[in-house]
Amino acid sequence: MTCRFVALGLHQTDMAWSIHTFANPTRFMRFSAIVLPYVWALAGAGIGIGLYLSFFVAPPDYQQGDSVRIMFVHVPAAWLSQFGYGIMVASSIMALIFRHPLADVAAKSAAPIGAVFTFLALVAGGLWGKPMWGTYWVWDARTTSTLVLLFIYLGYMALWVTIEDPNRAARVAAVLALVGAVNLPIIRFSVDWWNTLHQPASVFRLDGPTIHSSLLWPLFVVAIGFTFFFLGVMMVRMRAEILRRRVRTLQMQQAAG
Amino acid sequence: MSAFWALVQRDVRLATRVGGGGGMAVFFFLIVLSIVPFGIGPDLNLLTRIAPGMLWVALLLSALLTLDRLFQADQEDGTLDLLVMAPQPLELTVLAKAISHWLTTGLPLVVAAPLLGLMLNLPLDGMLPLMGAMLVGSPALSLLGAVGAALAVGVRRGGLLISLLVLPFYVPVLIFGVSASRAALVAVPGDLGGQSLLLLGAVSLASLVVGPVGGAAALRVAVK
């Protein structure tokens, strides 16, 4: 292991690797090329085994029947929708404070994946809601705050699209991500409060400990698979973004003379 | 501090004397609300029930309408560069802009709201809670809106972008605002009206921090 990382230029002595080890896009390109196949393998294994467990091994719920299997997609997707925003916020802090050259690439790459998982959580939730609640959409507190999260993702992506200069777009988008991070808890609280005003706490709550372990295991395995899938797509997107910026720089140089 | 108030005065003057300012927002508020009965029918009972919500939604939309000029006009004529370079902290500058936006948009709408409430058959008992809630909540619209406006400075079609960025952040204001306005109309167990008014105030105070800090951070990027 060590010699491979030394070959990569990752030879910090005392501290394992500082953040700045990966600051160099070239190093990141080399590192991600090596790591990516493993990430894909873990993602495939996690999703494959997880889905097998959830479709064939996990027993049907005594109340929800086979519809409970939708939860094995819905819940991990909902987790990852927040994981994605967390990555965006962490990268935005790095981008704003340390001017870390890869951080804004990471934030930009994470956004659409997070948005897709948010959308997936909403769609899976709707499909589960139809047999369970009798309707695809309920203005339930969690549904609503997930929808608002999707809107914030879309607004963030819209900001990246509308500003042409990547350096400027990066810093503006980072400010938006951080303002969103401050506001998300407030939105979440307000929506919870609004919902309890109208209807009592939902019966169909999926609190961790109330689930039987036979249903919990597939959930975790799928979640791990989804997480590696997220990281894999994110790395591919980051690589593409780095190459896109290089092309842009080359074109600029060519145009200059 | 004199620079701060001078900036507020300047923006209020510009908004009231140059077209497209607060007057237009009130007009828009009126139009949106008078379209509602066409959409849902003239049933007075139904209108009473949705009046507070519609008034708040219209307030949000009208506040949005004037946001895109908040920094854009200054950026186009170069004033923004001077404001950024000035010795006054940029956070205070953003706060001054937000205050003037509120004075020219939020305040006139709050004053006009009872009149428009009559058109939606809002009972007279509901007027004071509505105005109170709007008075407490509307500053948050200007302050959070300032962040959106600062993020979209120098972007083509900035107005549309601001709406997309800012509306999700308006959700808490809308929720607590409507609930505080409703308190007098619907008998709710407990003192929910007062509670939601307090929470609305909390949102406004939080925006008082988020707005200037976020707005200034975005402006520094835009101008550099």
The verdict on a CB contact (< 8 Å) between A179 and B210 is yes
Which token pair is B35? 């379209």
**ipTM of this complex prediction, to 2 decimal places:** 0.86
A104 to chain B nearest CA, in Å? 14
* Gap between the terminal Cα atoms of chain A: 45
Residues 6 or more apart whose Cβ sits within 8 Å of residue A105: A25, A238, A241, A242, A245
Contact yes or no for B179 and A194 at CB 8 A: yes
Mean pLDDT, rounded, of chain B: 87
Per-residue model confidence (pLDDT) at position A23: 63
Model confidence pLDDT, tens digit, residues B109-124: 999 998 888 888 888 8
| Residues A44-78: tens digit of each pLDDT | 999 999 888 888 887 777 777 777 788 888 889 98
Instruction: Find the mean pLDDT for residues A23-52.
Output: 89
Q: Do B168 and A176 touch (CB under 8 A)?
A: no
Type of residue numbered A233? V
pLDDT digit string, tens, across residues A92-145: 999 888 888 889 899 999 999 999 999 999 999 888 888 877 888 888 888 888
What are the residue ranges spanned by the domains of chain B?
A: 2-223
Q: So what's the pLDDT on residue A212? A: 66
Q: Which amino acid, B154?
A: G
pLDDT tens digits, A174-188: 999 999 998 888 888
Average the pLDDT over B175-204 and give the result: 77
**How large is the average pLDDT for residues B177-192?**
69
Q: Does A154 sit within 8 Å of B171, measured CB to CB?
A: no
> Running DSSP on this structure, what letter comes out for residue B152?
T
B214 reaches A (C-beta below 8 A): yes
Report the pLDDT value the prediction gives residue A3, as an integer from 0 to 100. Answer: 41
